[in-house]
């Protein structure tokens, strides 16, 4: 891997000239490099449990499975901060939150003047485009073309913000519309003489999991087994006990589960009215036709306690799956388009999510925690010709690795300050001996919705050590081999003291390496 660095003692004029020369040489280098395109499809909150190429228990996702079957599946894929905006910022910059400064969704605005991989790809001669969810508060930079949804976006008849700063409403279902726009860019708008990088960022599968009308009737005859730890009592895990993301307590029967009746009140009723208020007559008629009998039955039964919790779980699963179904169909449309245009051989196709999600594990929906279900994210790739690797890749990878991967694939230099590591050697079938042995994680958004306390931690192949801090000072240790669902906090047990000592040393090393100013203090720890 080639790295370049400007000498900071140069005058600005020299630096500008050197910068120009560096980008010329970048371009020259890229010109002699195979022109691989990159199609990066990222969903929101789509966990591996709900993809049949990862998990066969729940639903079929034949189009996503095509990507994995023709390419590779990462079995140890993780994010650096399990939340929408921060995860997107990590992906774009190849840096942890402490370096890209987008810590949380509630207080941060992404500094669009900073280095991102789309900007570096432009310098290497690529045409770059972004369609769909952005969620970084500032407008996109580094894209020749972009069209984004404001904030979280709406499932029905969504607004799009266009590059000339107009807002347009498009009729239809968002997953179809984002795909239509992505294909339209590839077909009609791009400069076909240049390699391209297209980011397709879906709103799906985000809360509140609103199905397209054509999929409403799916999965209704299915009943799903509860996860073994659905009734977790969070013993020995203070932060887990303090969250507000439980299916039983926090999933709103109207907003989340669509049990709307004028005479019933829930905290999020008005939000539900807003979302369904966007539907046109035809969409609303199909929606009501499906939901009205379920609503009537629900209020008539007056479920309580465990019966209510389990009813909520079943509805949650069905709504989520219907939303995934549209996504899978639309991924199929993109694959078919690339095939039809003869682009498959020279295109890297990536499918991932901004993080994982809980499907009732620990009794939860949502994400945020460093526990496995939400620290993990699915990652599958279809590789261009010349990359012969197929099947599973089991090295630990993180979303900060995508930026350097795309740069190396494009033949561009990887700047020194990028914290991720290129996955290209893995895609070529190599198993680098010095591959990372541990991953760093840091979640900041607290106090905020769902009330998951701030924490950082380290994950190795076998262990996970987490420190919850801020208004709490609580450590957790898991042996992932013996306890993969993280139910037994081993921190403080005498026999694990040597393991904890080593993990804390490694944790501090990572915090120093990534220059995280919020870090574990060995001095305070000894007090
Ligand atoms: Ca998300």
Q: Are 428 and 387 a contacting pair, CB within 8 Å?
A: yes
Does position 506 have pLDDT exceeding 90, yes or no? yes
Q: Is the pLDDT of residue 128 over 80?
A: yes
Q: CB neighbours of 416 closer than 8 A, spacing ≥ 6?
A: 3, 5
pLDDT at residue 23 in the model: 57
Across the chain, mean pLDDT equals 94
Listed in sequence order, the residues at least 6 apart from 340 whose beta carbon sits closer than 8 Å to its beta carbon are none
Give the pLDDT score at 358: 98
Does the pLDDT at position 25 exceed 90?
A: no
Distance 327 CA to ligand 1 centre (A): 15
What would the mean pLDDT of 407-419 be, rounded to a whole number? 97
The confidence band for 31, taking pLDDT boundaries of 50, 70 and 90, is low
CA of 133 to the centre of ligand 1 (A): 10
d(CA 297, CA 163): 47
Bridge partners for 41 per DSSP = 200, 351
What separation in Å is there between the alpha carbon of 90 and the centre of ligand 1?
13
pLDDT tens sequence across 281-291: 999 999 999 99
Give the integer Cα–Cα distance in Å for 93 and 305: 46
Q: What band does 78 get if pLDDT is binned at 50, 70 and 90?
A: very high
Whether the Cβ atoms of residue 318 and residue 220 lie closer than 8 Å to each other: yes
From the CA of 218, how far away is ligand 1's center (Å)?
A: 24
Question: What are the residues whose beta carbon lies below 5 Å from ligand 1 (ion)?
Answer: 44-45, 84, 354
Residue 19 confidence (pLDDT) above 70? no
Q: What are phi and psi of 282, to 5 degrees?
A: -65, -45
Cα 335 from Cα 98, distance rounded (Å): 36
SS (H, E, C) 93-161: HCCCHHHHCCCCCCCCCCCCCCCCHHHHHHHCCCEEEEEEECCCCCCCCCCCEEEEECCCCCCECCEEE
Residue 226 has pLDDT above 90, yes or no: yes
What's the pTM value of the predicted model, to 2 decimals? 0.94
Ligand 1 centre to CA of 42 (Å) is: 10
pLDDT for residue 32: 74
Residue 10 has pLDDT above 80, yes or no: no
- Can you tell me the mean pLDDT for 395-401? 98
Q: Contact 167/147 with Cβ under 8 angstroms?
A: no
* 3 state SS of 288: helix
Residues 190, 39: contact at Cβ < 8 Å?
Answer: no
| CA of residue 86 to ligand 1 center, whole Å | 9
**How many Å is the maximal CA-CA distance in the chain?**
76
Q: Is pLDDT of 103 > 60?
A: yes
């Amino acid at each position: 891997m080639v790295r370049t660095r400007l000498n900071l003692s140069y005058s600005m004029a020299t630096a500008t000239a050197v910068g120009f020369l560096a980008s010329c040489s970048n371009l020259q280098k890229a010109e002699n490099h195979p022109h691989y395109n990159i199609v990066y499809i990222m969903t929101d909150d789509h966990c591996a449990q709900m993809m049949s190429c990862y998990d066969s228990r729940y639903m079929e996702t034949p189009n996503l499975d095509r990507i994995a079957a023709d390419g590779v599946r990462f079995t140890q894929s993780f994010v650096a901060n399990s939340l929408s905006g921060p995860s997107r910022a990590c992906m774009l910059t190849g840096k942890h939150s402490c370096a890209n400064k987008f810590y949380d969704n509630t207080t941060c605005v992404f500094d669009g003047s900073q280095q991102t991989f789309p900007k570096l790809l432009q310098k290497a001669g690529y045409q770059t485009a972004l369609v769909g969810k952005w969620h970084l508060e500032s407008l996109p930079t580094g894209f020749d073309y972009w069209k984004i949804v404001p904030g979280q976006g709406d499932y029905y008849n969504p607004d799009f913000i266009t590059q000339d700063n107009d807002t347009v409403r498009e009729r239809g279902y968002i997953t179809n519309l984002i795909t239509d726009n992505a294909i339209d860019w590839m077909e009609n708008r791009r400069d076909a003489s240049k390699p391209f990088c297209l980011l397709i960022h879906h709103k799906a599968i985000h809360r509140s999991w609103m199905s397209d009308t054509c999929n409403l009737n799916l999965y209704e005859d299915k009943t799903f087994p509860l996860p073994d730890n659905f009734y977790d009592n969070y013993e020995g895990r203070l932060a887990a006990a303090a969250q507000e993301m439980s299916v039983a307590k926090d999933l709103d029967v109207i907003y989340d589960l669509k049990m709307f009746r004028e005479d019933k009140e829930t905290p999020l009723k008005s939000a539900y009215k807003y979302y369904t208020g966007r539907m046109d007559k035809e969409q609303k008629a199909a929606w009501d036709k499906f939901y009205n009998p379920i609503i009537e039955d629900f209020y008539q039964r007056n479920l309580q306690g465990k019966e209510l919790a389990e009813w909520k779980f079943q509805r949650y699963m069905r709504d989520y799956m219907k939303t995934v179904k549209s996504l899978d169909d639309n991924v199929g449309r993109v694959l078919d388009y690339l095939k039809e245009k003869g682009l498959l051989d020279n295109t890297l196709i990536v499918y991932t999510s901004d993080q994982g999600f809980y499907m009732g594990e620990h009794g939860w929906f949502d994400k945020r925690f460093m526990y496995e279900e939400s620290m993990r994210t699915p990652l599958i790739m279809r590789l261009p010709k010349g990359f012969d690797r197929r099947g599973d890749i089991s090295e630990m990878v993180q979303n900060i690795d995508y930026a350097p991967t795309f740069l190396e694939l494009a033949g561009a230099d990887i700047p020194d300050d990028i914290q991720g590591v290129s996955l290209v050697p893995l895609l070529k079938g190599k198993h680098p001996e010095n591959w990372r042995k541990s991953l760093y994680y840091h979640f900041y958004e607290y106090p905020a919705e769902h009330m998951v306390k701030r924490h950082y931690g380290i994950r190795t192949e076998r262990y996970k050590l987490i420190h919850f801090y801020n208004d709490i000072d609580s450590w957790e240790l898991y042996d992932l081999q013996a306890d993969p669902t993280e139910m037994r906090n081993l921190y403080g047990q005498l026999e694990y003291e040597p393991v904890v000592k080593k993990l804390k040393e490694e944790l501090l090393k990572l915090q120093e390496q990534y220059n995280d100013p919020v870090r574990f203090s060995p001095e305070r720890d000894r007090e």
